[in-house]
Structure 1
Amino acid sequence: MKYSSNLFFFSFLLIIITTIANIRATTGDSPHHHLEKNEVSEYYSRPTKLFVFGDSYADTGNLRKSLASSWKQPYGLTFPGKPAGRFSDGRVLTDYFAKFFGLKSPIAYTLMKMGGNNNNKVRNGMNFAFGGSGVFDASGNSSPNMSTQIDFFKKLIMIKINESNTIYTKRDLKSSVVLVTLVGNDYAAYTARPDATAQGLRSFIPLVVNQLAANLKRIKEMGACKIVVTALQPLGCLPQMTQLSSFKQCNATQNLVVNYHNLLLQQAVSKLNNETKHIHHSIFILDLFDSFTTVLNQKGDYQGDLKFETPLKPCCMGISRGYSCGSVDGNGTKMYTVCSDPKSSFFWDALHPTQAGWRAVYMVLKSSLEQFFKFY
């Protein structure tokens, strides 16, 4: 995931303000209104498996080691103590989401060996998320897009592990929960294009949301009853953007772009939910924008267990321009620095939270998840 600070974002400001005002006027909803109270109070049994589609905020080891910094030192420093394919010093969103349901984090798709006895490995579900992925193919990025990830899963439903059983059945999907993350790689790819314009970005955002909605509908039609999709986090608060202000200030214009995406997502999810009235078939928006903003503004979690004194500054940084967390020079010399205590930082690198950051976000999100998922 990589974001550009192109100047055209500033010319985007007036266009987007008008568009957001029009959307709010027609919907009458706040950007993060999801489901009515009477809907969330219905019975819902505890999921037996978790299936994940998305990008680096959810990836737990799918990217090849030759391509990903997540397999290099110092990633995995806190958990499991060595690089393990997670874009953090430790646990990521998938791990905390699984924890909420009392499940172990599902195995990464590429780490599962086909053939043999996979029963123990696949019993908690499977993670198809790849770092760098989006709903479209990003230029120069080999990560499979979300549609391809769904294809991977569809094939597993049809693969037999013996004469009488497949790896997964449609019943598995009906009794499971699906997590879908989209955190901005499509927009990073667009803004990196030499022909990128403010008007072009304004037209591109609905294309991204529409394709995401098509993916959600496809998962739903495959039999998923409960789907959770992430709203965009405040991209303007990522260290890659706040570095320009010495990690003191978020980029408000870029966050306005995020607001537009999230408004359109709310519209799309409402439409999909209205198409299926039954409470057992619902899509819920996991509000990463609000949860990130809450933790960053409080400089810690609401319980006071964690404190981030400089929340916009990453723990792991390249020592100079052109280097990033995990970089080494031709001699293998480390070209990055790591803070003394990752628990004191919200961000791990230029784009991703630390394990402590994800825990703080999870604590904010937990109450809304409890409202949506009612276990009896």
Structure 2
Amino acid sequence: MNSIMKLLASLLLFIFSSLLFGDVVVAESLNQKDPFSGRNKLFVFGDSYVDTGNTKTTDKGAWAFPYGITYPGKPSGRFSDGHISTDFLAQLLRIKLPVTYAKKDDVDKTRLQYGMSFAYGGTGVFDTYVNYPNMTAQINYFEQLLGNVYSPPSDLSSSVALVSVAGNDYITLVRAYPNDPIGLYGAFKPFIRKVVNQTEENPHLGSEEDSNTIIDTTLKSVAKLNKENNHSAFTIIDYYNTFLAIFNNTGGIPGIPTFQNISIPCLGDDGKVCDDRKSAFFWDGIHPTQEGWKSVYKVLRHNITAALMPKA
């Protein structure tokens, strides 16, 4: 069963992430030299790919050494050896890292002006195998701050929201059919539609075939959202194909290292860390290393910049 779980995790974990951008008024104020002008807040929803420390220190996991060994030099609740997706997106937007929801009452209130992360590792669109708030609950936390900490529409129109749905719902489904592969196969495709439908509803505030079904269904839903919403723009950060491009890179992508032994994580089952963390794409078999995420954002930078540019 462990081998099946690892296989499905590798197939499904990095399927979908999206960016939701502010309204058209802000977009029109942007210019070609500074496409990120006016985007001064980042709100984050989702799972361990974007969680910068919301999980509890008592749960260990990302709060246990050697997580955080590269940055900040100790465990910080990030599921990696260092910076993750949220860090690199904030850097790309040229804003300070948004504070985590768990620490919102413990920081200087000026820190809140850069947005907030509601993401919790292990969570999904629905309840999963961890006891942390799912996507709907995270959005409810955000809505409770509107009119108090954040003022719509001004704060929202100058913001970017990062939504990461990276496969925990599907892992939870697999766990529900531990000895019933036929039942799992029958439940899988209807569950894809259920997850995507709920993901589509929230922003309104396997096998290769199965992976393609998830991607195709998600693309159609994002297209539908863009058609229905005149004041928001939705775009997909395609982790899946970006990861594959990096895996298959033999030197043809400028500035991207050629990672060796992609399937071997830097952090071994015995707790030992590889000698050269920059040579490993995966940190723990599921989550990228800091160097892995850095490469992902080098590949994605053009697409994210293009999505932020004013439309003709």
Structures share a fold, TM > 0.5?
yes
| CA contact 2:263–2:285 (8 Å) conserved in 1 | no
| CA contact 1:316–1:349 (8 Å) conserved in 2 | yes
Letter matched to residue 227 of structure 2: N
Q: 1:108 aligns with which of 100, 104, 107?
A: 100
Q: CA 1:144/1:356 → structure 2, altered by over 3 Å: closer, same or farther? A: same
Q: CA 1:107/1:88 → structure 2, altered by over 3 Å: closer, same or farther? A: same
Please give the TM-score of this superposition, normalised by the length of structure 1.
0.70
Give the corresponding residue for 2:13.
none
Point out which structure has higher relative CO (alpha carbons under 8 A, 6+ apart). Answer: 2
| CA contact 1:299–1:310 (8 Å) conserved in 2 | no
Give the corresponding residue for 2:12.
none
| CA contact 1:209–1:264 (8 Å) conserved in 2 | yes
Q: CA 1:142/1:344 → structure 2, altered by over 3 Å: closer, same or farther? A: same
**How far off is 1:256 after superposition?**
3.2
Q: 2:265 aligns with which of 305, 308, 314?
A: 314
Q: 1:187 aligns with which of 157, 170, 175?
A: 170
Q: 2:246 aligns with which of 265, 284, 295?
A: 295
Aligned positions of 1:34-49 closer than 5 A: 43=28, 45=30, 46=37, 47-49=39-41
Letter matched to residue 204 of structure 1: F
Give the corresponding residue for 1:286.
237
| CA contact 1:77–1:90 (8 Å) conserved in 2 | yes
SS of the residue 1:256 aligns to: helix
Counterpart CA distance in 2 for 1:349 and 1:7 is: 12
**Does 2:217 correspond to 1:264?**
yes
Greater Cα offset, 67-76 or 194-203 = 194-203
Q: 2:150 aligns with which of 168, 191, 204?
A: 168
**How far off is 1:259 after superposition?**
1.7
Structure with greater Cα Rg: 1
Counterpart CA distance in 2 for 1:101 and 1:269 is: 22
SS of the residue 1:353 aligns to: coil
Give the corresponding residue for 2:160.
177
Give the corresponding residue for 1:75.
67
Give the corresponding residue for 1:207.
194
- The gaps in structure 2 that reach 5 residues or longer are 9-15, 31-36
**Does 2:109 correspond to 1:133?**
no
Counterpart CA distance in 2 for 1:266 and 1:217 is: 16
- The gaps in structure 1 that reach 5 residues or longer are 10-30, 159-165, 219-252, 320-335
RMSD of aligned residue pairs (Cα, Å): 2.7
Please give the TM-score of this superposition, normalised by the length of structure 2.
0.84
| CA contact 1:347–1:353 (8 Å) conserved in 2 | yes
**How far off is 1:155 after superposition?**
0.9
| CA contact 1:213–1:269 (8 Å) conserved in 2 | yes
Q: What's the CA shift string for 1:144-191, capped at 9, x where partnerless?
A: 100000111111124xxxxxxx31111211210100000000000001
**How far off is 1:301 after superposition?**
8.3
Counterpart CA distance in 2 for 1:8 and 1:359 is: 24
Give the corresponding residue for 2:34.
none
Give the corresponding residue for 1:247.
none
**How far off is 1:119 after superposition?**
2.6
**How far off is 1:291 after superposition?**
0.7
Percentage of identical aligned residues: 38
Give the corresponding residue for 2:307.
372
SS of the residue 2:272 aligns to: strand
Aligned positions of 1:347-362 closer than 5 A: 347-362=282-297
Q: 1:344 aligns with which of 270, 274, 279?
A: 279
**Does 2:145 correspond to 1:156?**
yes
**How far off is 1:271 after superposition?**
0.8
Q: 1:50 aligns with which of 38, 42, 47?
A: 42
Counterpart CA distance in 2 for 1:49 and 1:271 is: 25
**How far off is 1:8 after superposition?**
12
